[in-house]
Structure 1
Amino acid sequence: MNESTRRRFLLGTGAWASATLLAGHGMAHAQAARAWPDRPVRLVSPYGAGGSNDTSARILAEQLGKRLGHPFVVENKPGAGTRVGNELVARATPDGYTMLYAAAPYAVVESLYGKLSYDPRKDLRAVSLAVVAPVFLIVNADSPFKTPADLVAYGKANKERGLTFASPGSGSGPHLAGELFFKEAGVKGLNVHFRGDATAYTELLAGRVDATLTAITTALPHIQSGKLRVLGVASEQRSPIYPSAPTLREQGFANVIGYGWFGFMVPAATPQPIVERLASEVKAILAEPAVNQKLAGLGLQAMGTSPAEFAAFIDKEMTRWDAVVKQVGIRGE
């Protein structure tokens, strides 16, 4: 065998070996997906127990366990604006047995806190957007505010004080939506941050803040009893959760769009067949009327998307809120 022939042979066998190796990896991944899961799966909630992230995670985990034959165990890893839970999953073995029930702050933590110990664009991959939580503009029913325009007029008439909004935390979807409202209305505003929706509504009921722009679930009993009033919803269309509330867009605030969301993510190197199977199972669960009803009771709208759709959604959220954070000058607390 001459040198030229030997080189061609080695190149050919090298290419064949590489192709065989790649094919072997592909077969191994496919076999892993067919076998997955064969033991319990850990679903990390980046919040403490009892909130809508934790509760909806447990609803979906129970259904996934039933469909896939092994339990999906929710683990609460709160802290640092969801960064603790996010990083834990980003660093986990990418085998489909550790996943994240990501929340809306996932898309804004880098803008708020600067460089992180993980890369939210590269270290995790999207599986499926599970639910969205529309954000409602709500006031005390004893206030004179019947429309968002009334609220804005009051803020402009009290230039030194402006408006005060109760928020369930710095950098949260409601906080950012509130900043959008102040900017769009051209009114001075202050977001007062509390630990969750319940405390924010306590302050609103006591008359210590003018309004809140946040999820409606905790407020519903107070709305039904006539203590709180809904002025609008910050979404593109009216929400089936409270369809009588007109959108803020309908009322002249075209750019005030904001909502919370939760969705499934996994370590970036998780095999594609597992990602696709999980997305398919989540979508099927979210199509079930009984599950929809439970989630609606938490103020959540069921979604269920493909991995590509969820990835595009996260990318859009990151770009949109990064601009808001920079314009307003928000920093993470």
Structure 2
Amino acid sequence: MLFFGDEEVSDGMYYIGYPLIFLGIYLLIFMIVIKLLWGTTRYYRSQARLFGKTVIITGGNSGIGKETALELAWRGARVILACRNLNKAKQAAQYIKDKTGNYNVDYQYLDLSDLNSVKRFAEHINGSEPRLDILINNAGIASEPENGLTLTSQRFDLIFGTNYVGHFLLTYLLTDLLKISSPSRIINVSSFMHKMHWTPLNFDTGPNREGMRYPNLFDYRCSKLANVMHARELAKKLAGTGVTANSLHPGVINSEIWIPFKSKWTYLLFFVWKFVLRHLCLDNRGGAQTSIFLAVDEGVMSVTGKYFSRSVVSNENKLARDDVACGRLWNASLDMCGLAQ
């Protein structure tokens, strides 16, 4: 029997209580570390305006894309939301107009998983817009949808095709307009998950998996590595044109991108992950800050080919620093899109 002051405490309470206290301390330390690593960012405070500038944001109808669009519209830019869901895009555009008082906000249909849709969108933009100052390749998926679709219209892996191939073609087709409008900026939204891709990209075209073209180029990590490599190669090819290209990690965000995982994970795992996201990670506004910084800040006007996190230059996967590999990805991407080399 143990005594604390005038109170008598049983040995059982002693042996149960102290481990629980230490467990609580460990959990608190763990939560603080996660918050510091995943739940903090640099909020962009500059009052710089974008009057006379035109911005295209893919996936601008929700998540960090919507928050980025809201901020850039508030700064006076003409903002075009390039989205697959036109109903949500219409609602987002109206929301942005109401919030900012900027009615120069438009939305256009774009399905990045269909290269024909990308071509139609780019043709419309090139024919109707006199300038394009900022292209933010923001849209992305992290998991196949619940309908079981795994391939794009051109039979690339759905995640890789949507996150990378569609954006590659879009950027390629809008490059001349970006050059005309220089100084202009290309911003690829990647992820720290690109660092988890350990092996060089494999451009073999067979044997095909379910008829998939480039069957070794699949999943989220691969697509986000390709986004970083794309920006690096663009920086080389656009040197001297006044067009910069950079990539970024927006942070770990409590956004709609996690919704498909609800049906793929156990209830307990998804519940725990949502708790972490909600209480320890960034919201959409926080996740948009690095995109906003790269779109607006004058200090990065001449910075190109870099990877950013928390609005500062960060270290990318060493695979993305291989210029030969970046060149190979570029050539393979031209083939994927049916473009002449």
TM over 0.5: no
Q: Given the two structures, how large is their TM-score scaled by the length of structure 2?
A: 0.32
Q: Given the two structures, how large is their TM-score scaled by the length of structure 1?
A: 0.32
Which one scores higher on RCO, CA 8 angstroms, separation ≥ 6? 1
Structure with bigger strand share is 1
